[in-house]
């Protein structure tokens, strides 16, 4: 049983797991994250429960996959009804603080189980982006052009927000964390970088602007996979179409890379404060993200696919009982982080008591590689759902009413060879589909999501009213303090 220690969970937003120095990126500078990776264990097959913000964060809060939270899209958010790991711990006498983005529903009467919530960001207006409820593949989201329009040096509301989050975290560690507590505390620090807008502080933007940057994989038109969903998302998201040649692509990359380095800088400040408060030996640290970003690969930007760049996430853990300089290939998701939080502060029994499906990263890091199945699912944008199952070797993507995808990640880690319709791989596909169906019924879950979305469409005045609303490019940063 791991020793009970304080825990910091740092979550970024939309961090492609390949874009970090420790991950072998040839350009991006992330010295703080590199040090975290070196001092602990890196999970190399870590995934989001859903490659979009609100569902991913609901799954993280509850430790349950999306088909159980029923937070399907960016309009149906966590409302506190299902017990969260923070509520479990608060009820057991632990001090649990969040600083930064939560992306819950945010209604004043809802109790999310936190001892305190500092600078919280919830879905806009308590309703979020309800245009996502209309799953029309021909409804092109013209807000996508803002991706390249905003790719430049400067400060955005998001970088200013992240600076405030990092400052509050440094203060909390010195003023609250360093005081005596009856039980180990948990501090959840949730930053929004490197989520677009791709406006990076100049000192970080110009680390990469004007340089020869790695060209996105499979970017040319003739290289791009034409799977029906992938082609639809490329067209509907409208991120790549406004770009005018290599200069725009490099500018977008410079903005994203600059935001990753800016993120690393903020985490560095938090880690320095942890040490200055004398809390390093009594505190474990987890770094992760809610989902990744395609970042131009295959002509795709944003998330919403099951490729490694989008569904994959960084996952680092360091501290007591964690092997140093180690990697773990066992497939995991944010639901496992939820279980880990309980285990790390001495409440491991609560995992089974609350029927959580996750396993503690502390236990997995100290065990041989396990052929677990990591699940991710997606229920918006396109007309039908799709699901990813990741085992030690393979990734299987099951689409309702579209051809499957299959990748042998041992032989093909860059996902260049889709075996989804290969006769030779039929046996593997069938076995993985059966494994998926042992977890959920893809068609029944798809129908449930659509029924919930249809009910919310009616609640908001019908489809015509929702179609008349402008889609949101991103959630506005908050301006307030505590509640």
For the stretch 342-362, pLDDT in tens is 999 999 999 999 999 999 999
Contacts of 302 by beta carbon, 8 Å cutoff, 6+ apart? 14, 144, 147, 196, 237, 239, 293, 294, 310
Q: Residue 214 — left, alpha, or beta (φ > 0 → left; ψ -120 to 50 → alpha)?
A: beta
Q: Is-contact 37 264, C-beta < 8 A?
A: no
Tokens (6 digits) for 436: 């998926």
| pLDDT for 151 beyond 50 | yes
Position 480 confidence tier, pLDDT thresholds 50, 70, 90: very low
CB atoms within 10 A of CB 79: 18
- Single pTM value for the model: 0.97
| Percent of the chain whose pLDDT exceeds 70 | 99
Domain that holds residue 121: 6-467
| pLDDT for 173 beyond 70 | yes
Question: Has residue 343 been placed in a domain?
Answer: yes
In degrees rounded to 5, what are phi and psi of residue 294?
A: -60, -30
CB atoms within 10 A of CB 244: 8
| pLDDT for 307 beyond 60 | yes
Contacts of 130 by beta carbon, 8 Å cutoff, 6+ apart? 75, 456, 457, 460, 466, 469
Long-range contacts of 425-429 (CB under 8 A, 24+ apart): 428/394, 428/396, 429/396, 429/404
In degrees rounded to 5, what are phi and psi of residue 145?
A: -65, -20
What's the chain's average pLDDT? 96
Position 22 confidence tier, pLDDT thresholds 50, 70, 90: very high
In degrees rounded to 5, what are phi and psi of residue 96?
A: -125, 120
What pLDDT sits at residue 280? 98
Question: Has residue 479 been placed in a domain?
Answer: no
Cα–Cα separations (whole angstroms), residue 34 to 167, 227, 267, 293, 470: 22, 36, 11, 20, 40
Q: Is-contact 373 439, C-beta < 8 A?
A: yes
What pLDDT sits at residue 482? 42
Interval 73-121: pLDDT, tens = 999 999 999 999 999 999 999 999 999 999 999 999 999 999 999 999 9
307, with CB counted inside 10 A (0-12, 13-18, 19+), is: buried
Q: Are strands 116-121 and 96-101 parallel, antiparallel or unpaired?
A: parallel
Q: What is the mean pLDDT of residues 223-242?
A: 96
| pLDDT for 264 beyond 80 | yes
Closest to 163 in 3D by CA, of 126, 200, 114 = 200
Position 233 confidence tier, pLDDT thresholds 50, 70, 90: very high
CATH code, 339: 3.40.720.10
Question: Has residue 474 been placed in a domain?
Answer: no
| pLDDT for 380 beyond 80 | yes
Question: Has residue 331 been placed in a domain?
Answer: yes
Check whether the bond before 197 is cis (ω within 30° of 0): yes
Q: Is-contact 90 111, C-beta < 8 A?
A: no
Domain count across the chain: 1
Question: Has residue 290 been placed in a domain?
Answer: yes
C-alpha 411/C-alpha 308 separation (Å) is 14
Of 340 and 483, more confident: 340
CB atoms within 10 A of CB 419: 21
C-alpha 356/C-alpha 338 separation (Å) is 9
C-alpha 50/C-alpha 162 separation (Å) is 23
| pLDDT for 481 beyond 50 | no
């Amino acid at each position: 049983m791991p020793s009970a220690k304080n825990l910091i969970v740092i979550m970024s937003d939309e961090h492609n797991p390949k874009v970090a120095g420790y991950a072998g990126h040839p350009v991006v500078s992330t010295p703080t994250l590199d040090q975290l990776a070196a001092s602990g264990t890196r999970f190399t097959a870590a995934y989001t429960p859903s490659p979009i913000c609100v569902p991913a964060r609901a799954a993280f809060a509850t430790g349950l996959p999306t088909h159980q939270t029923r937070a399907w899209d960016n309009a149906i958010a966590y409302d506190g009804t299902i017990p969260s790991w923070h509520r479990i711990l608060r009820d057991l006498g632990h001090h649990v603080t969040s600083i930064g983005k939560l992306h819950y529903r945010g209604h004043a009467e809802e109790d999310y189980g936190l001892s305190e919530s500092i600078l919280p960001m919830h879905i806009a207006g308590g309703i979020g982006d309800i245009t996502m409820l209309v799953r029309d593949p021909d409804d092109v989201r013209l807000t996508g052009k803002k991706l390249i329009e905003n790719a430049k040096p400067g400060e955005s509301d998001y970088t200013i927000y992240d600076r405030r989050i990092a400052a509050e975290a440094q203060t909390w560690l010195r003023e609250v964390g360093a005081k005596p507590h009856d039980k180990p505390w948990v501090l959840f620090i949730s930053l929004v970088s490197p989520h677009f807008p791709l406006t990076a502080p100049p000192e970080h933007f110009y680390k990469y602007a004007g340089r020869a940057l790695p060209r996105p994989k499979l970017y040319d038109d003739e290289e791009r996979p034409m799977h029906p969903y992938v082609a639809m998302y490329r067209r509907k998201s409208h991120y790549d179409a406004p770009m005018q040649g290599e200069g725009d692509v490099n500018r977008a990359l410079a903005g994203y890379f600059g935001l990753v380095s800016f993120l690393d800088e903020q985490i560095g400040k938090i880690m320095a404060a942890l040490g200055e408060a004398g809390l390093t030996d009594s505190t474990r640290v987890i770094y992760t993200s809610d989902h990744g970003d395609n970042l131009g690969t295959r002509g795709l930007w944003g998330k919403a696919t099951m490729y490694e760049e989008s569904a994959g996430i960084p996952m680092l853990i360091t501290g007591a009982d964690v092997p140093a300089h180690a990697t773990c290939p066992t497939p995991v998701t944010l639901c496992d982080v939820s279980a880990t939080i309980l285990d790390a502060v001495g409440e491991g029994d609560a995992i089974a008591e609350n029927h959580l499906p996750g396993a503690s990263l502390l236990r997995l890091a100290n065990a041989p590689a396990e052929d677990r199945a990591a699940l991710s699912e997606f229920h918006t944008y396109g007309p039908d759902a799709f699901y990813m199952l990741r085992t030690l070797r393979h990734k299987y993507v099951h689409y309702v009413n579209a051809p499957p995808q299959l990748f042998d990640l041992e032989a093909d880690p860059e996902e260049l060879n889709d075996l989804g319709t290969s006769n030779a791989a039929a046996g593997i596909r069938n076995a993985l589909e059966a494994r998926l169906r042992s977890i959920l019924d893809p068609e029944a879950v798809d129908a449930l999501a659509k029924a919930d979305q249809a009910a919310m469409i009616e609640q908001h005045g019908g489809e015509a009213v929702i179609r008349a609303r402008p889609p949101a490019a991103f959630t506005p940063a908050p301006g307030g303090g505590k509640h």
